[in-house]
């Protein structure tokens, strides 16, 4: 869900039309929030998701969400992906295009 939201913003450092948008529906978004509220021990994951959903973050906000999830799951504190500039996939050159 966070990826879908981030893919529909426009960013100064990304040429208009370069981001392939992803879509989600409100039912899945509500379900995601409800499941997180019922299963997370702390507020960090929900707070990071809310920043993505309700603020206008930069695409590297996905790093903060991933780190909050890792913390919630009690994985190591080791940073897995520190490259914030390339943390959010905008597009790939081998993506299959619709033939319609």
- Residue 71 corresponds to which tokens in the numbers above? 């913390």
Tens-place pLDDT, residues 14-70: 888 888 889 999 999 999 999 999 999 999 999 999 999 999 888 889 999 999 999
- Dist CA 8 CA 51 (whole Å): 15
| Domain parsing of the chain, residue ranges | 2-86
Taking alpha carbons only, the member of 68, 12, 78 closest to residue 40 is 68
| pTM recorded for the entire structure | 0.82
Q: Any idea of the CA torsion for 32, 42, 62, 2, to the nearest 10 degrees?
A: 10
Per residue in 61-79, pLDDT (tens digit) is: 999 999 999 999 999 877 7
């Amino acid at each position: 869900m966070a990826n879908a939201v981030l893919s529909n913003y426009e960013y100064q450092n990304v040429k208009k039309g370069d981001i392939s948008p992803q879509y989600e529906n409100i039912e899945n978004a509500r379900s995601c929030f409800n499941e997180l509220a019922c299963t997370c021990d702390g507020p960090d994951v929900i707070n990071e998701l809310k920043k993505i959903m309700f603020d206008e973050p930069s695409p590297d906000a996905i790093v903060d969400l991933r780190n909050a999830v890792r913390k919630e799951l009690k994985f190591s504190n080791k940073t897995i992906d520190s490259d914030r500039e390339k943390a959010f996939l905008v597009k790939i050159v081998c993506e299959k295009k619709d033939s319609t």
